[in-house]
Structure 1
Amino acid sequence: MQLTISNLSKTYSNGIQALKDVTLTIPQGMFGLLGPNGAGKSSLMRTIATLQEPDSGEITLGDIDVLRQKDEVRKVLGYLPQEFGVYPKISAEVLLDHLAILKGISNKGERADLVEALLKKTNLYQHRKKNLGGFSGGMKQRFGIAQALLADPKLIIVDEPTAGLDPAERNRFHNLLAELGENTVVILSTHIVDDVRELCTDMAIIHQGQVLLKGNPAEAIDAIKGKIWRKRIEKGEIEGYRSQYHVISEKMFAGQPEIRVMSDLQPDPSFEAVESHLEDVYFTTILSENSTVNEENYVA
């Protein structure tokens, strides 16, 4: 089964065009949708999840017309939005059981077995009696995945799932997502480059509602191999380097600014050749559209 998106566009009532003729084919496995905040990722996810209508375009999931057969989509969809609410004074076990009832799982014994299995799968079984209000951010995200898996979905959408998680919880969540992607179409929508690099075999970069690049992350990195150069500079010099070179990113290293430049040839002897990374692909793609990217906001 694969998800096919064709010529999808959406403009909100305030005049903001969130999606501009988006076309993507997403196969089974982990697919990364990478872009800065406000790029249109969440608008695309909500549309696929049947939570909003596009102005034009088509979406199919296998032989299901997503825009016309919403009930059929919801039967095979697992969705973890960027922000989701929980009842803080209800235990994980009780709420998951209640959500299973809403999903149509009426047999009590079947439901109990499923709830137990999902809590174990998400490493929450030992906390099953604990009220959700006492869960950490990572535990809430894992509970979100548990509820998304209730109906054995064929399509799973996770929107910014690791934002705000500490490194240990992020690793746990990565392991869980990697396991899910073995037999399902999983769309990981994120602004965190490392999430895509570590998990996904296919990806797209979206910015200002448009798909700028689609492909395999490793192949995208290879395409700029040997073209990335690094140099530490003094504070206050960045504008001069920007005017002279194709500076794709800057960050502080040991208290000193460090820039990365894309160039077919060594810019000058003071620059050092470095291994290309997916974040270099990301910045190069975004900046090629004459956009300004704030690395502090968009890269973990």
Structure 2
Amino acid sequence: MMIAGEQITVRHSVLGWRRYWPKYRHGVYALENLNCQFNRGVNVILGPNGSGKTTLLQVLAGLVIPQDGTVMTNGQVCDRSVLRGCVSYLPQNFGLYPQFTAQEHLYYVALLKGITDRRRREEAVAVVLQQTGLVAMAQQRVGTYSRGMRQKVGIAQALLGDAAVLLLDEPTAGLDPEERNKLHALMVQIGQQRSVILASSLLADVHCADIVLVLTQGQRCFMGTPAELAACANEERDVLVCDELIVGKSRNALERGYRAVLRKRVKK
């Protein structure tokens, strides 16, 4: 497993991945023979529940140690401690202090991340509040926020510290379409300067992606642009047999392409 901390540059290959085999109990592999690469921009890891998306993010965050394989930045091998220093991870379920205002919460997180200088901490919090559109509500208690606003606080705390790689696990789950679109716009904005790696079960999140990695049963079945994923619809009939047993016409080419690559993997 590999990684190179502060030497990560989003202009090149930020994370290269080879043969990652963590085991669940009874000898079932969470991910197997997985090869992928993430660059600057928005990278979406898409797949059904249980496909290995969260496990992959946890490995990239240094929270799970693989049995075999490597993680690299710009071709350089990295150990777990360096990996943790160059990525920022927001899990699907994260804790907030409801009695804190957003500003107070972010000040506290900044301290935990080692930003001890008061002026630097205030500047860092002001920047992430601006980036996430929370300035107007920064003095309100987090406990009064909607789910979409709480997600923005989570993303703001992930942005603190200027990590080169931002890992987000299902950040749009449960949001209404308007809030989801706002978060998509934020991801695109952040992706101009960093590598954003977003795990999702929602096909709608692909619309903000530069690159899509599709996982199923712990293995890669597609990696490419959204346009290339949509083109996969022409390779098979518009029928899918998978966990949901959905059969029939899909609503658009992107959905048809996604169903086609999943079905192709199921056939194997």
Identical pairs, percent? 33
1:157 is matched with which residue?
167
1:12 is matched with which residue?
24
1:120 is matched with which residue?
130
Whichever residue aligns with residue 209 of structure 2, its letter is C
1:264 is matched with which residue?
none
2:188 is matched with which residue?
178
- Normalized per residue, the structure richer in strand is 1
Task: Find the partner of 1:217 among 217, 221, 226.
Answer: 226
2:240 is matched with which residue?
248
1:207-286 equivalences under 5 Å are 207-225=216-234, 247-248=239-240, 259-260=248-249, 276-286=252-262
1:28 is matched with which residue?
40
1:290 and 1:101 mapped to 2: Cα distance? Answer: 47
Report how far residue 220 of structure 1 moved: 2.6
Question: Which blocks of at least 5 consecutive residues in structure 1 are unaligned?
Answer: 230-246, 251-256, 262-274, 292-300
Question: Which blocks of at least 5 consecutive residues in structure 2 are unaligned?
Answer: 1-8
Change (3 A) 1:64 1:108: farther
Q: Is the 8 A contact 1:9 1:19 kept in 2?
A: yes
Task: Find the partner of 2:111 among 101, 108, 111.
Answer: 101
Aligned residues: 252
Q: Is the 8 A contact 1:158 1:189 kept in 2?
A: yes
Report how far residue 192 of structure 1 moved: 0.7
* Cα shift readout 1:84-132 (whole Å, capped 9, x = no counterpart): 1111212211110011111111110111121112112111112112222
Whichever residue aligns with residue 257 of structure 2, its letter is V
TM-score w.r.t. structure 2 length?
0.87
2:92 and 2:45 mapped to 1: Cα distance? Answer: 14
2:31 and 2:247 mapped to 1: Cα distance? Answer: 34
Report how far residue 63 of structure 1 moved: 5.6
Higher RCO, 1 vs 2 (CA within 8 Å, ≥6 residues apart): 2
1:77 is matched with which residue?
87
Q: Specify the structure having the higher radius of gyration (Cα).
A: 1
Q: Is the 8 A contact 2:236 2:260 kept in 1?
A: no
Between 1:95-104 and 1:74-83, the stretch displaced more is 74-83
The alignment partner of 2:248 has SS state of strand
Report how far residue 51 of structure 1 moved: 0.7
1:267 is matched with which residue?
none
